[in-house]
């Protein structure tokens, strides 16, 4: 079914008290509850009331820091968090429609464990799970595991030959990791459980498959201990800012989050990803590309700008981000999204500057505005995340056709 050209997908990115470092000091913020299930349930329920496609949940394997490779000694910002995959699982039984996409760090974790964890979130949610894979180049995270060192790179070194080589290594490993996740999800055919009383067999072992993955960094035998999840393949996503991660999105993901500065930049990014997608032999597969924006939304544009300015003052510095920072009204944001969408973005992931304020502004301000324009759904029309994203349930790669 062709999608109406104006329909766009919407996600929100949840992190702590919001993306602004001073967000936790806002009157409506609940900084003392960041480590409770209720806090996360309330946010995701709100997002679901806004009919959003999915929420992502940020994560890392170290304390938050403004320093890229260790602690910054600050006591005035949110520090500490819960495992995002467990948050997603905890929320799943409390929601019905919205996609749940936790972040997982692939550099230090086991693909076998993560594969079954995401499959389980898919079972628990009835087919609404995804995962955002993230590489880690942080020395402190490597030291937390003590199994490997990672090259120390500053952001301004990433585009040097050494930087590119290091990134390539991390992202090639991430691609291997995703390949293992996907093979493990397919390692049970959908009808592997037969419960054949006549022959006494619970499963048909012909429908279970060793994945026999051998890569440069690790090998995995399989099959999974968890049956194929409801979506067959939960959604794999990644955040991407430059060529190596663009390639990861293009060859391995269903959904990429990108950070365009403007429409021209968005066009460049989408072109690069589509070319890499073709080069990877996936030209005929749907790979969504969502633009990321940090948003501060109020009904009066000055109020939004003032609110951000006040937060900046509290934080002691103007807030900047890898993503474009928007302040304004729901209608202005709708204009911006529709404009950026012209570049070929299929949706947006909005990072609320403060929670719950900017999330509520999305669900109760932006969404109705987009609906008025016919650019966003007025009800959930699918029960699975794949369904919401217009993706079909994939055939199992191991099944005989």
Scored b (16 or more CB within 10 A) or e, 191-221 reads ebbeeeeeeeeebeeebbbebebeeeeeebe
Q: How far is the CB of 115 from other proteins (least distance, A)?
A: 9
Q: How far is the CB of 105 from other proteins (least distance, A)?
A: 9
Nearer to other proteins, 225 or 317 (CB): 225
Decide: 239 and 245 in contact? Cβ < 8 Å.
Answer: yes
Per DSSP, what are the bridge partners of residue 295? 326, 352
Q: How far is the CB of 133 from other proteins (least distance, A)?
A: 15
Q: How far is the CB of 322 from other proteins (least distance, A)?
A: 21
Q: How far is the CB of 321 from other proteins (least distance, A)?
A: 20
Q: Is the peptide bond between 356 and the residue preceding it cis, with omega within 30 degrees of 0?
A: yes
Task: Let me know if 303 is exposed, middle or buried by CB neighbors in 10 A (0-12, 13-18, 19+).
Answer: middle
Nearer to other proteins, 202 or 279 (CB): 202
Nearer to other proteins, 3 or 148 (CB): 148
The CB density around residue 286, as the number of other CB atoms within 10 Å, is: 15
Lookup: tokens for 19: 């993306």
Nearer to other proteins, 88 or 253 (CB): 88
Nearer to other proteins, 71 or 302 (CB): 71
Q: How far is the CB of 291 from other proteins (least distance, A)?
A: 29
Nearer to other proteins, 112 or 296 (CB): 112
The string of DSSP codes covering 217-262 is S-EE----SSPPPTTSS-EEEEEE-SHHHHHHHHHH-SEEEE--SS
Nearest to 325 by CA among 341, 342, 345, 309: 309
Decide: 131 and 102 in contact? Cβ < 8 Å.
Answer: yes
Q: How far is the CB of 231 from other proteins (least distance, A)?
A: 14
Q: How far is the CB of 188 from other proteins (least distance, A)?
A: 7
Nearer to other proteins, 106 or 239 (CB): 106
Nearer to other proteins, 103 or 259 (CB): 103
The string of DSSP codes covering 295-308 is EEE-SSHHHHHHHH
Lookup: tokens for 157: 């070194």
Half-sphere exposure of 223 (CA within 13 A, CB side): 17
Lookup: tokens for 181: 């996740």
Nearest to 51 by CA among 96, 5, 91: 96
Nearer to other proteins, 226 or 363 (CB): 226
Phi-psi group of 390: left, alpha or beta (phi > 0 → left; psi -120 to 50 → alpha; rest → beta): left
Q: How far is the CB of 7 from other proteins (least distance, A)?
A: 31
> Cα 282–189–383 angle (5° rounding)?
70
Nearest to 218 by CA among 184, 194, 254, 266: 184
Q: How far is the CB of 311 from other proteins (least distance, A)?
A: 12
Nearest to 259 by CA among 169, 320, 168, 335: 320
Lookup: tokens for 347: 């949706």
Nearer to other proteins, 40 or 376 (CB): 40
């Amino acid at each position: 079914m062709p999608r109406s050209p104006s329909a766009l997908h919407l996600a929100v990115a949840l992190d702590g008290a919001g993306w602004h470092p001073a967000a936790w000091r806002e009157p409506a913020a609940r900084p003392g509850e960041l480590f409770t299930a209720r806090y996360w349930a309330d946010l995701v329920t709100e997002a679901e009331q806004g009919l959003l496609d999915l929420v992502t949940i940020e994560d890392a394997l170290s304390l938050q820091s403004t320093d890229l490779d260790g602690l910054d000694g600050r006591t005035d910002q949110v520090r500490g968090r819960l495992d995002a995959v467990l948050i997603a699982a905890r929320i799943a039984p409390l929601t019905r429609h919205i996609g749940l996409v936790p972040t997982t760090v692939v550099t230090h974790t086991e693909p076998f464990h993560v594969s079954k964890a995401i499959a389980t979130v898919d079972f628990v949610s009835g087919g609404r799970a995804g995962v955002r894979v993230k590489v880690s180049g942080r020395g402190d995270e490597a030291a937390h595991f003590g199994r490997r060192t990672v090259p120390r790179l500053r952001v301004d070194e990433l585009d040097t030959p050494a930087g590119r080589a290091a990134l390539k290594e991390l992202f090639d490993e991430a691609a291997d990791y995703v390949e293992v996740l996907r093979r493990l999800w397919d390692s049970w055919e959908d009808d592997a459980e037969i419960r054949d009383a006549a022959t006494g067999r619970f499963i048909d072992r012909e429908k279970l498959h060793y994945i026999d993955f051998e890569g440069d960094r690790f090998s995995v035998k399989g099959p999974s201990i968890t049956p194929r999840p409801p979506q067959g393949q939960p959604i794999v996503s990644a955040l991407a800012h430059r060529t190596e991660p663009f390639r990861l999105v293009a060859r391995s993901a269903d959904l990429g989050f990108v950070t365009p500065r403007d429409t021209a930049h968005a066009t460049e990014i989408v072109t690069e990803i589509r070319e890499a997608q073709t080069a990877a032999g996936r030209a005929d597969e749907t790979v969504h590309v969502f633009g990321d924006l940090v948003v501060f939304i109020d009904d009066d544009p000055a109020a939004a700008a003032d609110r951000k300015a006040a937060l900046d003052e509290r934080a002691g510095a103007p807030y900047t981000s890898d993503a474009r920072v928007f302040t304004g009204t729901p209608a202005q944001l709708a204009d911006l999204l529709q404009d950026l969408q012209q570049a070929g973005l299929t949706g947006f992931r909005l990072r609320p500057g403060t929670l719950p304020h900017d999330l509520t502004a999305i669900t109760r301000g932006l969404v109705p505005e987009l609906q008025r324009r016919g650019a966003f759904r007025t009800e959930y029309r699918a029960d699975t995340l794949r369904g919401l994203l217009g993706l079909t349930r994939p055939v199992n790669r191991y099944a005989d056709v």
